[in-house]
Amino acid sequence: GGRGAQARLEDLLDRGVMVGGENVRLEAFDELGRLPYPVPAREAVGLHAELERGRVLSEGERVHLQIALMARRGEAPPRPRMDVRLVLDRSGSMIGEKWSHAIAAARQLVDRLEPGDTFG
């Protein structure tokens, strides 16, 4: 995360990706990003998944799956209020890095609470 992730993303955008042994900038894929799926009318997000072909060998083979997430236009609907109860394992198995990660996750949870949410 942080600046390192942003720098990696900017580098990827500048460099592009290798396709068939050639370096292709990501802008070349722009038209592929315009998918013919409808924008959801009631749900916040619509999900569409499609295999590159209709059949897959039972012995297994490489198959590409295209997944499209389409967000509803306009302002996002308000999320429902949450009633959160947090339980942390303080046993010996949580010593060290595991405990640090658990505390960091708990802090992220608390940071994402909104007015009207309850926490205990």
Read off the pLDDT of residues 29-83 as tens digits, 9 standing for 90 and up: 655 556 677 788 778 888 888 887 788 788 877 888 888 888 877 777 788 999 9
88 plus 111 within the same structural domain: yes
DSSP-derived secondary structure letter, 37: P
47 plus 20 within the same structural domain: no
DSSP-derived secondary structure letter, 45: E
Domain count, the chain: 3
Rounded Cα gap, residues 22 and 1, in angstroms: 29
DSSP-derived secondary structure letter, 42: S
List pLDDT tens digits, range 16-43.
777 777 777 766 665 555 667 778 877 8
- Indicate the Cα dihedral angle 21, 25, 27, 29, nearest 10°: 20
Better-predicted residue by pLDDT, 47 or 1:
47
71 plus 88 within the same structural domain: no
Rounded Cα gap, residues 111 and 96, in angstroms: 23
Give me 110's structure tokens.
């608390």
70 plus 88 within the same structural domain: no
Better-predicted residue by pLDDT, 33 or 116:
116
109 plus 96 within the same structural domain: yes
Among 5-14, 36-45, 104-113, which stretch is predicted with the lowest mean pLDDT? 5-14
Domain ranges, residue 19: 1-34
- Please give the average per-residue pLDDT across 103-117, as a whole number: 93
12 plus 26 within the same structural domain: yes
95 plus 70 within the same structural domain: no
18 plus 41 within the same structural domain: no
